[in-house]
Amino acid sequence: MHEIDVVGFLASLSAILVSAKIFGELAERLGQPPVLGELLGGVVLGFGIFSFFHPNDPALALMAEFGVILLLFETGINSDLSELLKVGPASLAVACVGVLAPFALGYGLMCLLGRGGMESVFVGAALTATSVGITARVLADMGKLARPEAQIILGAAVIDDILGIIILSAVQGVAASGSLSWLAVGRTTLLSAAFLAAAFWLGPRISRMMIGIVHRMRVRGILIVSAVVFAFVMALAAHALGTALIVGAFTAGVLLAGTDKREDIDGALKPVADIFVPIFFVMVGAKVQLSAYNPLVPGNLGMIVLALSLVLLALLGKVVAGWAARGKDLNRFGIGVGMIPRGEVGLIFAQVGLSSGVIDAPLYAAVVGMVVLTTFLAPPLLKRAFSGA
Which whole number is the average pLDDT over 339-351?
79
* 215-260 confidence digits (pLDDT tens): 888 888 889 999 999 999 988 988 887 666 777 888 888 888 888 8
State yes or no: pLDDT of 32 exceeds 80: no
**Number of neighbouring beta carbons within 10 Å of residue 183:** 7
**Number of neighbouring beta carbons within 10 Å of residue 32:** 18
Fold of 66-386: Na+/H+ antiporter like fold (1.20.1530)
Round to whole Å and give the CA distance between 11 and 335.
44
State yes or no: pLDDT of 314 exceeds 90: yes
| Residue 15 and residue 279 in contact, taking contact as beta carbons nearer than 8 Å | no
| The pLDDT of residue 2 | 47
How far does CA 210 lie from the centroid of its chain?
28
| The pLDDT of residue 184 | 65
pTM (predicted TM-score): 0.74
* 165-186 confidence digits (pLDDT tens): 677 777 777 666 666 666 766 7
DSSP letters, 196-250, are HHHHHHHHHHHHHHHHHHHHT--STTHHHHHHHHHHHHHHHHHHHTTS-HHHHHH
How far does CA 267 lie from the centroid of its chain?
21
Which of the four pLDDT bands, split at 50, 70 and 90, describes residue 147? confident
- Of 321, 324, 353, 341, nearest to 382 by C-alpha is 341
